[in-house]
Structure 1
């Protein structure tokens, strides 16, 4: 069994600086308490109107991972990792649960007004438009997930190289959901490539 790594928590800068995409993992399963700790933190990610459209499907079953590997064009990291999380956005589920997203500190009247405004705003969109909007928010949670995994002593690799329709069928996901990424993760069994990034002058402009 993989040991509990909560004693190896990294600072945020250390987690970001040490994170590399890893494609070979130690076979040991991830303790359930570690998985819970990861998602207890990730669920705190911010989102517009606090709608939290992200949903996480964590796959540890060997047979399911084999099917995901096939849907991912044979990429070995899918079965090498002890856990694979599908990060999806489900705005239709959000709309069905709008009252649960409104802050309980608001007055009942203000809560009802907020739900009505959100229902009107998103009701004017198509399912596809709502899905794309939710995906922009879910990508925030994806970034938090990658840093959290690293910060708690594990390694990961975000992927979009997979047949999305096949993955939906494998996991029984609704057609309307959007994928932010498939993320195999576990204890690294190899070194990642050194960072190769643009210089700060290329990506940051001060005004």
Structure 2
């Protein structure tokens, strides 16, 4: 069954308040239109210097999901979900294409200056350090992704419990990429646990 349209769009407040991690999903395909809508929102995520180091590998093929489930130590939500997205950073791709991130509204001279400054900054880092830097930005996109999925009527579960090297091999991803999460998502077929979160006074300081 192909869900062609989103039935109800939640407000940001509703999406955040209603989101729970779900591990059992309805066996309904997600249309290309709805997948595109989710990522049209996610691509608006902000990043330092607008570098946008996040990349998304969306898997809907069942055989490929079975391989991912094996790499995720048999966790059943991977094949239960109609779609699984691997969220990762690829800073080496960013560095190789720096002119793409510079705002076109800048003068040509200013654009060249920006590229030179960024090249110099990241040249002082190792590939590992650049990867970790990009991962901090990609985690912002992960938050946007979870909110967009929920806001458009789907449910999700972010996972880090998987063999990262094995997933890179399965998806033919470069060795240098860093994973933020594996995210199975779809229409929920089970209820999640009630929220259990720290009170504000533990996590927020007002002064």
* TM-score interval for Structure 1 and Structure 2 normalised by the shorter chain: over 0.9
Give the whole-Å Cα distance in 2 for the aligned partners of 1:6 and 1:24.
Answer: 20
CA RMSD of aligned residues (A): 0.7
Deviation string, structure 1 residues 97-145 (Cα, Å, up to 9, x no partner): 1000000010000000000000000011000000000000000000000
Matching of residue 8 in structure 1 with residue 5 in structure 2 = no
TM-score (norm 2): 0.99
- The answer to whether the Cα contact below 8 Å between 1:53 and 1:91 also exists between their aligned partners in 2 is yes
Give the whole-Å Cα distance in 1 for the aligned partners of 2:189 and 2:201.
Answer: 34
Give the whole-Å Cα distance in 2 for the aligned partners of 1:23 and 1:46.
Answer: 29
Where structure 2 has 5 or more consecutive residues not aligned to the other structure, the ranges are: none
Partner residue of 1:86?
86
Give the whole-Å Cα distance in 1 for the aligned partners of 2:3 and 2:61.
Answer: 19
Partner residue of 2:100?
100
Structural mapping, 1:1-207, within 5 Å: 1-207=1-207
Deviation at 1:5?
A: 4.1
Give the whole-Å Cα distance in 1 for the aligned partners of 2:25 and 2:5.
Answer: 15
Give the whole-Å Cα distance in 2 for the aligned partners of 1:145 and 1:3.
Answer: 19
Q: Which runs of 4+ in 1 moved over 2 A?
A: 2-7
Give the whole-Å Cα distance in 1 for the aligned partners of 2:7 and 2:106.
Answer: 38
Give the whole-Å Cα distance in 2 for the aligned partners of 1:154 and 1:136.
Answer: 25
Give the whole-Å Cα distance in 2 for the aligned partners of 1:94 and 1:123.
Answer: 12
Deviation string, structure 1 residues 37-85 (Cα, Å, up to 9, x no partner): 0000000000000000000000000100000000000000000000000
SS at match of 1:197: coil
Where structure 1 has 5 or more consecutive residues not aligned to the other structure, the ranges are: none
How many aligned residue pairs are there?
207
SS at match of 2:175: coil
